[in-house]
Chain A
Amino acid sequence: MNKRKPTLSDDQLYALEEHLAGTLKPVTPPMEVVQRLRERIRFPQPEEIAWRLRDWNRMFLIFGGVMSGMLLLITIARAFFYLVGRRHIG
């Protein structure tokens, strides 16, 4: 049995490519879409925020920073009350 490989003639190829080029044309995205996309990319997305919360190193540093700040405030407050209190009694 003579099995022939299917082929495209040059004319068919040219015509088909012409049709495809006429159909699949580059489009311009609407301006509001481009603007919305730009805004979405500039600000962190929910998944990025979730990723940041899962980042233990960052969370440890944030927690350590907050605790150190609170200790410092308590120490200053205690020193202040100690000094004011002594003067008041004296």
Chain B
Amino acid sequence: MPDIEFNEEDVLVRASQGDRDAFGQLYGRYIDRIFNYVYYRTGNLHDAEDLTARVFQRAMNHIHNYTDRGVPFSAWLYRIAHNLVANWHRDRSRRQEIPLNDLPVLPSKGDHPERNLVRSQEQDSLLRLIRRLPSERQSLLILKFVENMSNAEIGAIMGRSEGAVKSLYHRTLLALRDQIGDQNINLDNE
């Protein structure tokens, strides 16, 4: 409903002129998506909150530099998130694997609330495998499945061509399939 009133171009112009209310509208529109991305990439609620705040802080301070040259605002925002998460991992200089009890189960959109309180053992195993993947591959899977983005959109965020994203996706699935053999995940019983 509110989308009928929402003219992103107009809101962006006002936000770049320092209108905080306009920026607030952009915040309302993208907070969930950016939080989702950061939450899956960091693996804990506290850092996800902190990094999400920094993404919007940085976006607010630099929004006057944003010009729509074929890259949508959402991609610009995700790129900030992508860079901040990469810096966060570098600063902590640790493996991507984070104990799963640090990744709290949050309610999923569109599901019955009671179904969200538990994650199946299979899902836990798969999440653990995903978190062992190199950073770029984790981002790719999150953008594809959590954010439902196309290869072209993912390419705009990761600074890669659509073909390169497609190829990386294929290699990521191959790597996952090879690792799945050691876990309790059955790909044949679907």
Binding site for B on A (CB under 8 A): 6-8, 12-30, 33-34, 36-38, 40-42, 45, 47-48
Contacts of B111 in A (CB 8 A): 25
A36-B49 CB under 8 A given contacts A16-B177, A29-B32? yes
B window 163-183: CB within 8 A of A = 170, 173-174, 176-177, 180
Bound CA span A72–B35, Å: 52
Bound CA span A36–B122, Å: 33
Bound CA span A33–B57, Å: 15
Chain B CB within 10 A, most for which of A7, A21, A25, A42: A25
Bound CA span A26–B147, Å: 7
Query: A23: which of B32, B127, B170 is its contact (CB, 8 Å)?
Result: B127
25 contacts between A and B (CB under 8 A): A15-B190, A16-B180, A16-B187, A19-B126, A20-B141, A23-B119, A23-B123, A24-B40, A24-B145, A24-B146, A25-B145, A26-B32, A26-B108, A26-B109, A26-B146, A27-B39, A28-B108, A29-B32, A29-B35, A36-B49, A37-B53, A40-B57, A41-B56, A41-B60, A45-B57
B137–chain A nearest beta-carbon distance, Å: 12
10 A-B pairs with the lowest CB-CB distances in the bound complex, closest first: A27-B106, A24-B145, A25-B108, A15-B187, A29-B35, A15-B190, A23-B123, A40-B53, A23-B126, A26-B109
B148–chain A nearest beta-carbon distance, Å: 8
Q: Does B85 contact A (CB under 8 A)?
A: no
Contacts of B146 in A (CB 8 A): 24-26
Contacts of A6 in B (CB 8 A): 174
B188–chain A nearest beta-carbon distance, Å: 7
Bound CA span A53–B119, Å: 48
If over half of A's interface residues share one DSSP class (helix, strand or loop), that class is named, otherwise mixed; here it is helix
If over half of B's interface residues share one DSSP class (helix, strand or loop), that class is named, otherwise mixed; here it is helix
Bound CA span A24–B45, Å: 16
Contact in complex: B106, A24 (CB < 8 Å): no
Q: Does B63 contact A (CB under 8 A)?
A: no
Bound CA span A66–B176, Å: 65
Contact in complex: B49, A27 (CB < 8 Å): no
A30–chain B nearest beta-carbon distance, Å: 7
A24-B130, A36-B49 given; 10 more Cβ-contact pairs under 8 Å: A8-B170, A12-B187, A18-B190, A26-B109, A27-B36, A30-B45, A33-B35, A37-B53, A40-B53, A41-B53
